[in-house]
Amino acid sequence: MIRTLIVDDEPLARRAVRQSLAGFGDFELVGEAGHGAEAVAAIGTLRPDLLFLDVQMPAMDGFGVIDAIGVDAMPLVVFVTAFDAYAVRAFEAEALDYLLKPFDDQRFARVIERVRRQIGTGDQHRRLLGAQPRLVVRGNGTARLIRLDEIDWIGAAGDYAEVHSRGRAMLLDESLASLGARLPGTEFARIHRSVIVRLDRLAEIVPGTHGDGMVRLTCGAELRFSRRYRKPIGLFLAR
């Protein structure tokens, strides 16, 4: 059984998580807390495996709870909040996932599966977000954390960047130039003014007549590269 603690200062919010959790027989609700200080005490006495933790609470918020306990001593954490602005801080706090209110059954089930997989590794403190760098992708009232090793390529979409991962396209509220400066140069390269690719996704290169050409990726995408950005491709192939 996966021992679970729910922390939220709103009774209705706690009830929503409790009712959603009731459909999963391998999770045991060991307690609830209505504020940060109560959560710190409950973590110490109940020793939960999993914490559904509200971000915004009076006196001590969710991040304050983590500071009080210490990241290494925390159970797995799923942040629950109505505001996606905290997604980056959730990443920095090594949370397992980030659940936006109001959530539906499908989104909650995905969280449950991630918890099961993580606990199944036998090392609950090896946080998925800490183990793999991620991007925060926002859109349609949700925020997703996407592992860099799941990204195939990224294209410019006006003032936004469009992240292509596992057959899906998601808008990132950041320009391609800004994003490119943050991505590791050993793994990603700009091949056109409007395209960044993950280098280990390169499957075929078709040269053009003027130093430009086309690349095919393992996902099947065909993208143009320009003469100006040809060098990163050559360097990768020469490894």
Q: pLDDT digits over 188-200, tens only? A: 999 999 999 999 9
Q: Which of 131, 161, 177 is the last residue of a domain?
A: 131
Question: Within this chain, do residues 123 and 167 fall inside the same structural domain, yes or no?
Answer: no
Q: 106, 77, 100: which is closest to 4 by C-alpha?
A: 77
Left, alpha or beta for 166 (phi > 0: left; psi -120 to 50: alpha)?
A: left
Give tens-digit pLDDT for 155-194.
Answer: 999 888 899 988 888 887 778 888 887 788 888 999 999 9
In a domain, 6, yes or no: yes
Say yes or no to pLDDT of 72 above 80. Answer: no
Tokens representing 220? 């099947």
pLDDT per position as a tens digit, 13-41: 999 999 999 989 999 999 999 998 899 98
Tokens 């140069």 -> residue? 185
Mean of all residue pLDDT scores within the chain: 83
Structural domain for 175, as ranges: 148-237
CATH of the domain at 172: 2.40.50.1020
Q: Which of 131, 157, 188 is the last residue of a domain?
A: 131
Domain count, the chain: 2
Q: How far apart are CA 68 and CA 90, in angstroms?
A: 16
Alpha carbon 127 to its chain centroid, in Å, reads 11
Give how far Cα 72 sits from Cα of 31, 35, 126, Å.
21, 21, 9
CATH classification of the domain holding 55:
3.40.50.2300
CA dist 199 and 54 (Å) reads 38
Give the mean model confidence (pLDDT) for residues 138-147: 59
Report whether pLDDT(56) > 80.
yes
For residue 146, pLDDT over 90 is answered with no
- Report the C-alpha dihedral over residues 143, 68, 111, 145, rounded to 10 degrees: 30
Q: Which residue has the tokens 């360097």?
A: 235
Say if residue 175 is in the same domain as residue 70.
no
Residue 137 domain flag: no
Of 102, 131, 160, which residue is a domain's last? Answer: 131
Q: Are residues 14 and 73 in the same domain?
A: yes
